[in-house]
């Protein structure tokens, strides 16, 4: 059984500095229409950056090649590191957007990410302000599709569902970024049983140790458990666009459903062998295939309508 790379083989943390990711979001957000204060969020008022676009902009060709040569393990290491950075950014934005955030929360996040939260907030304040739109404060999240940036009105609950692109419409509880209902979204206190999909994933990617905690097979099982748990709670219905099906060379959603997770995995491995850089494929096509596979897997694990 193959194990994921040890820290001595691959050490991806630090490849995606939060400041660099925020600067990329600032540039891209200039082309995103501003949402109207007090209204529900809509897809056209949010920004999604795919893993491919972030890898291409923030990593050198040499670094990308080095990790892609490790196949699934290398790609997963990059994906994990990126989501760890997004998780850190999302938590810091919660602190930035909550005047009443407590010293205890600062201490917990400082220990988790090995940084001084007040100092980090001061250093990133300029970038946070550039992402702010009037009284609408930035909110970060991620899904199988990539990194999501949206906005929420100051003083409103910052619980964010990237699959439906919606924020909660309730006001925050005292000394918290979240309303009373969404207190489990404070994932740094460990998610509770009723935590939503994004919270569960933040909690997983927030701890660096999880990258090296599993063999490849165990990792796939754990990810499957996450999606099963989320689906049983009826919390998500991931969108699967036609582009992902085209990349996977699958005719329709019905065909995908008939394949099921195991059939999809076998189909994916056949395609991966052909598109892998070691076999004459190119890195970007291989990465698009990996992302399409992740989206299709999320779709299969989602609750039935």
Residue by residue, DSSP assigns 106-149 as HHHHHHHHTS-HHHHHHHHHHHHHHH-BTTEEEEEEEETTEEEE
Residue ranges making up the domain that contains 261: 237-301
Cα–Cα nearest to 139, from 112, 154, 125, 160: 160
> Does a structural domain hold residue 225?
no
> Does a structural domain hold residue 280?
yes
Q: 165 and 48: one domain? A: yes
Q: 166 and 241: one domain? A: no
Of the residues 181, 203, 220, the one at which a domain ends:
181
Cα 127 to Cα 284: distance, rounded to the nearest angstrom:
29
Amino acid 233: pLDDT = 44
Predicted confidence band of residue 123 (pLDDT cuts 50, 70, 90): very high
Q: 129 and 268: one domain? A: no
Mean pLDDT, residues 64-74 taken together: 80
> Does a structural domain hold residue 259?
yes
Q: Which residue is associated with the tokens 């291409």? A: 56
Mean pLDDT, residues 32-49 taken together: 56
Residue 44 predicted with pLDDT over 50: no
Of the residues 136, 160, 181, the one at which a domain ends:
181
Amino acid 127: pLDDT = 97
Amino acid 220: pLDDT = 61
Higher pLDDT residue, 10 or 127? Answer: 127
Cα 158 to Cα 160: distance, rounded to the nearest angstrom:
6
Higher pLDDT residue, 121 or 9? Answer: 121
> Does a structural domain hold residue 33?
yes
| Contacts of residue 258, Cβ cutoff 8 Å, sequence gap at least 6 | none
Residue 51 predicted with pLDDT over 80: yes
Q: 242 and 118: one domain? A: no
Q: 135 and 245: one domain? A: no
Cα 11 to Cα 264: distance, rounded to the nearest angstrom:
30
> Does a structural domain hold residue 213?
no
Amino acid 239: pLDDT = 60
Task: List pLDDT tens digits, range 75-107.
Answer: 788 888 999 999 999 999 999 987 645 667 788
Structural domain count of the chain: 2
Question: DSSP assignment, residue 6?
Answer: P
Cα–Cα nearest to 83, from 138, 132, 139, 18: 18
Query: Could you tell me the CATH number of the domain that includes residue 256?
Result: 1.10.287
Residue 112 predicted with pLDDT over 80: yes
> Does a structural domain hold residue 11?
no
Q: Exposure string (b/e) for 113-138, b if CB count within 10 Å is 16 or more?
A: beeebeebbeebeebbebbbeeebbb
Task: List pLDDT tens digits, range 157-172.
Answer: 998 877 666 788 889 8
Amino acid 272: pLDDT = 79
On average, the pLDDT of the chain sits at: 78
What are the distances in angstroms from CA 212 to CA 11, 12, 223, 267? 10, 11, 14, 27
> Does a structural domain hold residue 9?
no
Q: 135 and 243: one domain? A: no
Q: 56 and 176: one domain? A: yes
Of the residues 181, 211, 227, the one at which a domain ends:
181
- Region for residue 259 given its phi and psi (left: phi exceeds 0; alpha: psi -120 to 50; beta: otherwise): alpha
Q: 53 and 128: one domain? A: yes
Amino acid 57: pLDDT = 94
Cα 156 to Cα 91: distance, rounded to the nearest angstrom:
16
Task: List pLDDT tens digits, range 186-237.
Answer: 888 765 556 677 888 888 888 888 787 666 666 666 655 555 554 444 444 4
Q: 56 and 148: one domain? A: yes
Cα 227 to Cα 206: distance, rounded to the nearest angstrom:
17
Residue 262 predicted with pLDDT over 90: no
Q: 46 and 169: one domain? A: yes
What are the distances in angstroms from CA 74 to CA 5, 65, 68, 218? 8, 10, 5, 16
Cα 170 to Cα 237: distance, rounded to the nearest angstrom:
22
Q: 41 and 173: one domain? A: yes
Mean pLDDT, residues 36-54 taken together: 64
Amino acid 82: pLDDT = 95
Residue 7 predicted with pLDDT over 50: no
> Does a structural domain hold residue 245?
yes
Q: 124 and 34: one domain? A: yes
CB 84 within 8 A of CB 13: yes
């Amino acid at each position: 059984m193959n194990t994921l790379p040890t820290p001595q083989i691959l050490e991806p943390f630090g490849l995606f500095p939060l400041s660099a990711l925020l600067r990329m979001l600032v540039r891209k957000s200039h082309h995103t229409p501003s949402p109207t204060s007090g209204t529900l969020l809509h897809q056209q008022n949010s920004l999604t950056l795919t893993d491919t676009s972030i890898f291409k902009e923030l990593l050198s060709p040499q670094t990308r090649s080095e990790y892609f040569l490790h196949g699934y393990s290398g790609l997963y290491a990059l994906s994990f590191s990126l989501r760890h950075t997004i998780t850190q950014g999302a938590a810091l934005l919660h602190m930035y957007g909550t005047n009443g955030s407590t010293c205890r929360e600062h201490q917990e996040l400082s220990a988790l990410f090995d940084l001084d939260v007040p100092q980090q907030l001061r250093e990133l304040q300029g970038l946070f302000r550039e992402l702010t739109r009037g009284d609408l404060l930035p909110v970060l999240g991620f899904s199988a599709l990539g990194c999501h940036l949206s906005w929420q009105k100051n003083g409103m609950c910052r619980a964010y569902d990237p699959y439906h692109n919606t924020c909660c419409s309730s006001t925050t509880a005292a000394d918290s970024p979240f309303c009373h209902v969404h207190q489990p979204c404070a994932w740094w206190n460990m998610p509770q049983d009723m935590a939503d999909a994004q919270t569960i994933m933040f909690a997983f990617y927030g701890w660096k140790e999880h990258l090296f905690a599993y063999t490849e097979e165990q990792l796939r099982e754990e990810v499957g458990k996450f999606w099963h748990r989320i689906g049983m709670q009826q919390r998500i219905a991931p969108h699967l666009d036609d582009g992902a099906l085209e990349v996977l060379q699958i005719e329709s959603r019905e065909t995908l459903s008939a394949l099921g997770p195991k059939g999809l995995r076998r189909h994916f491995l056949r395609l991966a062998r052909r598109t892998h850089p070691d076999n004459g494929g190119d890195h970007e096509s291989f990465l698009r295939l990996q992302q399409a596979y992740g989206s299709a897997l999320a779709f299969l694990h989602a609750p039935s309508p």
